[in-house]
Structure 1
Amino acid sequence: MDDALRLLIGSGLESKDIGAAQMMLRAAIVYLATVFMVRMGKKRSMGRTSAFDVILGILLGSIVSRAVTGNAPMLPALAASATLVALHWVVSAAAYRWHGFGQLVKGGTRVLVRDGVVDAAQVRAAHLSGRDLEEDLRRKGLTDPAQVAEARLERNGDISVIRAQPEPRVIEIRVADGVQTVRVELG
């Protein structure tokens, strides 16, 4: 068995002694195992890009790359990766269940604009400039904070915006007797 693993994936060899075909097979095995682990980690918790998730991605990438190149034994590296994914799932579940823990691990949201008024203290606390906020509003088709009911910095770093409802414009039209058509165009 050891000879077969050594031949197929270069098990037990120094990384400099692993051939291209062995490295390719290692890459395929590690890729499939990582896809499986990420799928087991649940789409919602693994698909978000909070700092919490970025950390997992960096750690997984580091560990599995060492398994591919032979700088770490493949099975222990995959076991460590599976442990990280399981830990991520447990921490995500705990963050979902206990709000305070979720705030600690994933951070909170900040209201940057409410009813058209920019909260400069919250913008500063989020390490944003006024220009950063303006840029984000423009990307959402808004040119003035007065057009915003609420803009919130979300836990993943995105700014979500709820547009203010425009005031209804009332137009009074007096029509002379005998007029059959009135055309009103509002822009």
Structure 2
Amino acid sequence: MELLRELIGPDNGDASTAQLCVRAVILFLVGIVYIRIAGRRTFSQATPLDIVVALVVGSNLSRAMTGKAPFWPALAATLLLVILHRLFVMLTLRWTWLAKVMKAEPVVLVRDGVKDSAAMVRHGIGEGDLLEALRLEQAERPEDVRLATLENNGRISVVREKSGPA
């Protein structure tokens, strides 16, 4: 244990360059393990819960890297957070009421070609944001859309009107 303490240096911010490099290697490997535990979705199509966990994990690992927090306790606390995140993800699959509390509900922005301006304002979606999302789905205007929804991950999904028979 004393050898490891020599390798990673003190937790008071006075670690040498070599010790910070050793910390970086350890944190890189630990970070990969933590991401594998948390699951892919944590760092991809993020919900608010996922974003908070990602920010705290990054912050904790950064503080452990620079010696602003004790190395092993910071890693232990970060691991606990990742495990709790994974547990809550599993619980939200079982209990829909918890999923509603932990995740945002999808919001309809356009239904049958009619924009819901109040919903757009409530969620900070401007006209340009909506039109961009429509264009990405090859729809030119809201009238070309059967349904456009602000999803839990912040993306706007679009279901275009079906075109008539050719």
- Could you state the TM-score of these two structures normalised by the residue count of structure 2? 0.91
Alignment of 1:83-102 (within 5 A): 83-102=80-99
- 8 Å CA contact retained: 2:11, 2:70: no
- Structure 1 residue aligned with 2:8: 9
* Partner-residue secondary structure (3-state), 1:168: coil
SS of corresponding position for 1:90: helix
Letter in 2 for 1:15: G
**For residues 24 and 83 of structure 2, what CA distance do their matches in structure 1 show?**
22
Which range is displaced more, 74-83 or 99-108? 99-108
Larger radius of gyration: 1
For 1:43, which of 31, 40, 44 is the aligned residue? 40
Q: Which has the higher contact order (CA 8 A, sep 6+)?
A: 2
Structure 1 residue aligned with 2:19: 22
Does the aligned pair in 1 maintain the 2:133–2:158 contact within 8 Å? Answer: no
Which whole-Å CA distance do the structure 1 matches of 2:26 and 2:82 have between them? 17
In the alignment, is residue 124 of structure 1 matched against residue 128 of structure 2?
no
- Report what 1:64 is aligned to: 61
Equivalent pairs counted in the alignment come to 166
**Bigger share in helix:** 2
- Identity of matched residues, %: 37
Relative to the length of structure 1, the TM-score reads 0.82
Residue 158 of structure 2 is aligned to residue 161 of structure 1: yes
Partner of 1:179: none
Find the aligned partners of 2:41 and 2:54 in 1 and give their Cα distance. Answer: 14
C-alpha distance in 1, partners of 2:58/2:11?
Answer: 22
- Confirm or deny: 8 A CA contact 1:6 1:13 kept in the other structure: no
How well do the aligned residues superpose, as a CA RMSD in angstroms?
A: 1.6
Preserved CA contact (<8 Å) 2:11 2:71: no
